[in-house]
Amino acid sequence: MVAKAAGKANLTSVLLASWICPGAGHVLLGKRYRAALYFAAVGGLFWLGLALQAYFVFPNTPGETFALFKFLGAFASGGHFFIAYILQLGMGNLDTFKAALTNEVGNTCLYTAGILNVLVLVDAWDLHSGRKK
């Protein structure tokens, strides 16, 4: 059933699914264990970051260097970013976040989650195109 689905899944749906829910693209490609690892790794790092007082930076946030890259780093986490955005987590008075001792470690985890999700997307692309097994 999964192998049949893997044959039918097109690249756009694989990449979109992978971005919105890390690992979902790999489920479409029939790589369930890999999908579980990617989901746990990206989600784990993202929510660990927020638990450690990470905050979201938007391109128009004043006083932030590389604001666009920071935004893209968090935005690459896909669905996790949107859930946190809807729940208003990692937003508010930035000075409160910056005062926390764990803030920088949290930010590192948050951006790493996004960058890992980009790697997951590339991996899904490689699997779909047959460059990888």
Partner 1 sequence: MGLLLVGFLFSLLVSGVFAFVERGDSRERLRYFIKAFGCFFLSILLAGWLMRQLPF
| Binding residues vs partner 1 (CB under 8 A) | 34, 37-38, 40-42, 44-45, 48, 51-52, 102, 105, 108-109, 112, 116, 119-120, 122-123, 132-133
Question: Quick one: which of 87, 82, 90, 102 has its CA closest to 61?
Answer: 90
* Residue 23 near residue 16, CB atoms below 8 Å: no
Q: How far is the CB of 123 from partner 1 (least distance, A)?
A: 5
Pick 71 or 111: Cβ nearer partner 1: 111
* Residue 67 near residue 20, CB atoms below 8 Å: no
* Residue 97 near residue 103, CB atoms below 8 Å: yes
Q: How far is the CB of 122 from partner 1 (least distance, A)?
A: 8
Q: How far is the CB of 64 from partner 1 (least distance, A)?
A: 22
